[in-house]
Amino acid sequence: MSDSSTAGCLSILIIVGHIVAWVGSGILSWNWVQPESFGGAILFIIAWGIIGYIADMILGFILVAVGKMFDS
């Protein structure tokens, strides 16, 4: 990534993707757990962390592949 415009675009994509992954996983976790008590809220936070981490890792692998394509 020697081209600064490509690096800038990938940086913005990483930031936006990170936000979308965590917000999307939060919505998914909320709809899945539907917390109505303190225990449900704790379960929601745990589920959000796990699903968010998985989504973030998948996004990272995708962005590394995209970065390698632009690196050529």
Q: Where are the domains of the chain?
A: 4-71
pTM of the model: 0.80
Residue 68: per-residue pLDDT: 87
Buried b (16+ CB within 10 A) or exposed e, 2-37: eeeeeeeebeeeeeebbeebbeebbeebeeebeeee
Encode pLDDT of 15-55 as tens digits.
999 999 999 999 999 999 999 999 999 999 999 999 999 99
Nearest CA among 69, 68, 63 for reference residue 10: 63
d(C-alpha 45, C-alpha 50), whole Å = 9
